[in-house]
């Protein structure tokens, strides 16, 4: 059911997030600690580096190859540094007959010239029933950018359609407002099509500076009975979201942690689950919450808000 992280802060080697910690994102492909589902559907990454050419535009890496065995990714992650990283490992049921398994459906999503990138941890039940109706409420110029078939990209396009100009929108508060509007439109579509089964919508947005993340689900507590008469574990659990704050994410005495004063935060990690087996220093985000990180030169302003959508 996917695992995601977004880092913002001091420049660091990307391998410090993907490979080195005891429960790093690549470890979570085959050994996630908080959800018993393998994440074998591919990997995607966007990273911002102020020292690179055109620093406002992230560099992107996507591959349907498992990152566990991707030597190209391993070497790049050891060499490249970034101040913001949005990374995603995809967990989907594999069916070779299904076009869903392909590079066009890998996260993060970011259309050419748009300011915000997004990754999704979750699944919209019955999405195929109302996908066409959702496409009709997108702004035409946004709909024209849609390339994949996933519920995740549709959510991204829906939120971008609520912005006055997604190629210029930089304000964090404007993004939060667009996010809430998009989720409310999505709820109305679900109601119109009689869809009331629990659906998780944990979202991660960043523009390379600020971050917005949600821990949210539609109709949590309503479950379908699967073929075997059991409830799928990805449906019965409210998908997790965690964060850690400090000044630097680094190795101390053989263990990775955020060091420095959390009250003087200049670095943050938001993730589907902690990147370390030791959860000390990590905080779980409450259900139905928006978490925002507004970056300034001397500190990050971190807030949590109730999400009423």
Q: What is the reported pLDDT for 226? A: 61
Which one, of 4, 5, 7, 3, lies nearest residue 208 by Cα?
Answer: 7
Rounded Cα gap, residues 292 and 295, in angstroms: 10
Rounded Cα gap, residues 231 and 294, in angstroms: 39
Q: What is the reported pLDDT for 65? A: 87
Residue-averaged pLDDT of the chain: 91
Q: Where are the alpha helices (DSSP H) in the chain?
A: 15-18, 71-79, 127-136, 140-143, 151-160, 172-192, 233-236
Identify which has the larger pLDDT, 233 or 193: 193
Rounded Cα gap, residues 93 and 65, in angstroms: 15
Rounded Cα gap, residues 277 and 242, in angstroms: 13
Rounded alpha-carbon distances, angstroms, from residue 170 to 67, 116, 207: 31, 8, 7
Contact 64, 41 (CB under 8 A): yes
Give the 3-state secondary structure of residue 117: strand
**What's the DSSP call for residue 308?**
-
93 Cβ contact partners less than 8 Å away, ≥ 6 residues apart: none
Q: What is the reported pLDDT for 102? A: 77
Q: What is the reported pLDDT for 111? A: 98
Rounded alpha-carbon distances, angstroms, from residue 175 to 27, 31, 169, 184, 273: 31, 33, 8, 14, 24
- The per-residue pLDDT for range 134-156, each reduced to its tens digit, is 999 999 999 999 999 999 999 99
Rounded Cα gap, residues 127 and 157, in angstroms: 14
pTM of the model as a whole:
0.94
Cα end-to-end span (Å), the chain: 22
The yes/no answer on whether domain 3-121+203-306 falls in CATH 3.60.20.10 is: yes
Q: What is the reported pLDDT for 99? A: 52
Give the 3-state secondary structure of residue 16: helix
Does the structure show a pLDDT above 80 at 37?
Answer: no
Q: Name the β-bridge partners of 251.
A: 256
**What's the DSSP call for residue 20?**
S
Does the structure show a pLDDT above 70 at 97?
Answer: no
CA dihedral for 232, 32, 90, 100, sign (positive or negative): negative
Share of the chain above pLDDT 70, in %: 92
Alpha carbon 299 to chain centroid, angstroms = 23
Burial class (CB in 10 A: 0-12, 13-18, 19+), 151: buried
Average the pLDDT over each of 29-33, 129-133, 244-248 and give the range with the smallest value.
29-33
Does the structure show a pLDDT above 60 at 229?
Answer: no
Q: What is the reported pLDDT for 96? A: 47
């Amino acid at each position: 059911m996917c695992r995601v992280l977004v880092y913002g802060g001091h420049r660091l080697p990307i391998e410090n997030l993907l490979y080195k910690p005891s429960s790093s994102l690549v470890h979570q492909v085959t050994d996630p600690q908080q959800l018993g589902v393998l994440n074998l559907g591919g990997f995607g990454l966007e990273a911002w580096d102020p020292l690179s050419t055109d620093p406002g535009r992230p560099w992107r890496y996507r591959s349907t190859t498992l990152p566990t065995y991707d030597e190209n990714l391993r070497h790049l992650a050891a060499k490249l540094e970034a101040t913001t990283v949005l990374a995603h490992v995809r967990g989907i049921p594999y069916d070779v007959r299904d076009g869903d398994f392909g590079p066009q459906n890998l996260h993060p999503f970011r259309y050419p010239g748009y300011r915000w990138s997004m990754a999704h941890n979750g699944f919209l039940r019955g999405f195929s029933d109302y996908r066409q109706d959702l496409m009709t409420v997108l702004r035409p110029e946004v709909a024209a950018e849609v390339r994949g078939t996933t519920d995740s990209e549709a959510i991204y396009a829906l939120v971008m359609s609520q912005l006055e100009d997604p190629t210029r929108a930089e304000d964090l508060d404007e993004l939060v407002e667009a996010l809430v509007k998009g989720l409310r439109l999505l709820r109305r579509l679900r109601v119109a099509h009689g869809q009331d089964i629990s659906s998780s919508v944990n979202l991660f947005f960043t523009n390379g500076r600020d971050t917005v993340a949600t821990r949210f689900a539609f109709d949590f507590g309503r479950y379908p009975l699967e073929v075997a008469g059991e409830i799928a574990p990805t449906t019965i659990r409210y998908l997790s979201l965690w964060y850690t704050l400090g000044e630097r994410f680094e190795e101390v005495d053989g263990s990775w942690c955020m060091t420095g004063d959390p009250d003087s935060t200049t670095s943050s990690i938001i993730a589907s689950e902690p990147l370390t087996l030791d959860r000390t220093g990590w905080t779980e985000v409450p259900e139905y919450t928006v978490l925002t990180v507004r970056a300034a030169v001397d500190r990050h302003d971190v807030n949590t808000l109730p999400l009423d959508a």
